[in-house]
Structure 1
Amino acid sequence: MKASGIIVEYNPFHNGHLYHAIQAKITTGADVVIAVMSGNFLQRGEPAFVDKWSRANMALKNGVDIVLELPYAFATSNAPSFARGAIQLLDAAQCSAFCFGSEDGEVNSFERSLLLLQQAGDNYEQTVKDAVSRGLSYPKALNEAYTMAANSSTIEGPLADLSKPNNILGFHYMEAARNIDSEMKAVTIPRIVAQYHDDAVAGNPIASATGIRKSFFESETLGTITDFMPDTALELLHDWQAENQSFGNWPTFYPQLRFTILREGPKRLAMIADVTEGIENLLYRAAADNGTFEGFMKDVKSKRYTWTRLQRMLTHIFTGFTYDIRSSMKTPSYLRLLGMTSAGRLYLNEHKKRLKLPLISKAAAFSNPSLDFDIHAADMYALGIGNGTSSSRIGVDYNTHPIIIQ
Structure 2
Amino acid sequence: MKAVGLIVEYNPFHHGHAYHVNKAKEITGAEIAIAAMSGNFLQRGEPALISKWTRTEMALRGGIDLVFELPYTFAVQKADTFANGALSLLSAAECDYICFGSESGNIEAFYQTYNFLKNNKHKYNESVQTFIKLGNSYPKAMSLAYQELGPASNLLDLSKPNNILGFQYVRAAIEKQLPIKMTTITRKDAGYHDEFFASPSIASATSIRKALFTLPEDLSAVQPYIPNQTYDLLLQYREQFGAFHSWDMYWDYLQFILLRTNANQLKAIYEIEEGMENRILSNIKTSQSFTHLMGALKTKRYTWTRLQRVLTHILTGTTKDEMKMLKERVTYLRLLGMTEKGRLYLNRLKKTCPLTIVTKRASFNSPQIDIDSRAAELYTIGLPTNSRQFALQQEYYQKPIYLK
TM-score, length-scaled by structure 1? 0.96
CA distance in 1, matches of 2:386, 2:322: 29
CA distance in 1, matches of 2:150, 2:180: 27
Amino acid at match of 1:307: W
CA distance in 2, matches of 1:11, 1:21: 15
Structure 1 residue 121: Cα displacement: 2.0
**Structure 1 counterpart SS, 2:185:** strand
Amino acid at match of 1:108: E
Q: 1:22 and 1:353, CA in 2 relative to 1: closer, same or farther beyond 3 A?
A: same
1:142 and 2:139 are equivalent in the alignment: no
Amino acid at match of 1:343: K
Q: Contact 2:101 / 2:186 at 8 angstroms: preserved in 1? A: yes
Q: 1:162 maps to what in 2? A: 158
Q: 1:177 maps to what in 2? A: 173
Amino acid at match of 1:213: R
Aligned residues: 400
Q: Contact 1:116 / 1:149 at 8 angstroms: preserved in 2? A: no
CA distance in 2, matches of 1:227, 1:180: 41
Amino acid at match of 1:170: G
1:346 and 2:344 are equivalent in the alignment: yes
Amino acid at match of 2:65: D
Amino acid at match of 1:57: E
Q: 1:335 maps to what in 2? A: 333
Q: 1:299 maps to what in 2? A: 296
1:314 and 2:289 are equivalent in the alignment: no
CA distance in 2, matches of 1:19, 1:383: 34
CA distance in 1, matches of 2:234, 2:28: 31
Alignment of 1:5-404 (within 5 A): 5-151=5-151, 158-201=154-197, 204-220=200-216, 221-329=218-326, 330-386=328-384, 389-392=385-388, 393-404=391-402
Amino acid at match of 2:346: L
CA distance in 1, matches of 2:128, 2:208: 34
Amino acid at match of 1:404: Y
Cα root mean square deviation, aligned = 1.3
Structure 1 residue 390: Cα displacement: 4.3
Question: Percent same amino acid among aligned pairs?
Answer: 45
Which moves more between the two structures, 99-108 or 297-306? 297-306
Q: Contact 1:11 / 1:55 at 8 angstroms: preserved in 2? A: yes
**Structure 1 counterpart SS, 2:381:** helix
**Structure 1 counterpart SS, 2:351:** coil
Q: Contact 1:282 / 1:300 at 8 angstroms: preserved in 2? A: yes
1:311-362 Cα offsets, whole Å, 9 max, x none, are 0000000000010111120211111100000000111112322223221111
Structure 1 residue 374: Cα displacement: 0.4
CA distance in 2, matches of 1:294, 1:405: 39
Q: Contact 1:383 / 1:394 at 8 angstroms: preserved in 2? A: no
Q: Contact 1:7 / 1:36 at 8 angstroms: preserved in 2? A: yes
CA distance in 2, matches of 1:131, 1:203: 37
Structure 1 residue 213: Cα displacement: 0.6
- Show structure 1 runs of 5+ residues with no match: none
Structure 1 residue 202: Cα displacement: 7.3
- Dislocated runs of 4+, deviation >4 Å: none
Which moves more between the two structures, 251-260 or 34-43? 251-260
Q: Contact 1:246 / 1:252 at 8 angstroms: preserved in 2? A: no
1:360-394 Cα offsets, whole Å, 9 max, x none, are 111122221011110111000011334xx343232
Amino acid at match of 2:338: M
1:274-296 Cα offsets, whole Å, 9 max, x none, are 11111112211221112211211
Q: Contact 1:116 / 1:150 at 8 angstroms: preserved in 2? A: no
Structure 1 residue 243: Cα displacement: 1.0
- Show structure 2 runs of 5+ residues with no match: none
Q: Contact 1:253 / 1:385 at 8 angstroms: preserved in 2? A: no
Amino acid at match of 2:213: F
CA distance in 2, matches of 1:13, 1:29: 23
Which moves more between the two structures, 347-356 or 313-322? 347-356
**Structure 2 counterpart SS, 1:124:** helix
**Structure 2 counterpart SS, 1:352:** helix
Q: Contact 1:46 / 1:249 at 8 angstroms: preserved in 2? A: yes
Q: Contact 1:273 / 1:326 at 8 angstroms: preserved in 2? A: yes
CA distance in 1, matches of 2:289, 2:242: 18
Q: Contact 1:67 / 1:337 at 8 angstroms: preserved in 2? A: yes
**Structure 1 counterpart SS, 2:69:** strand
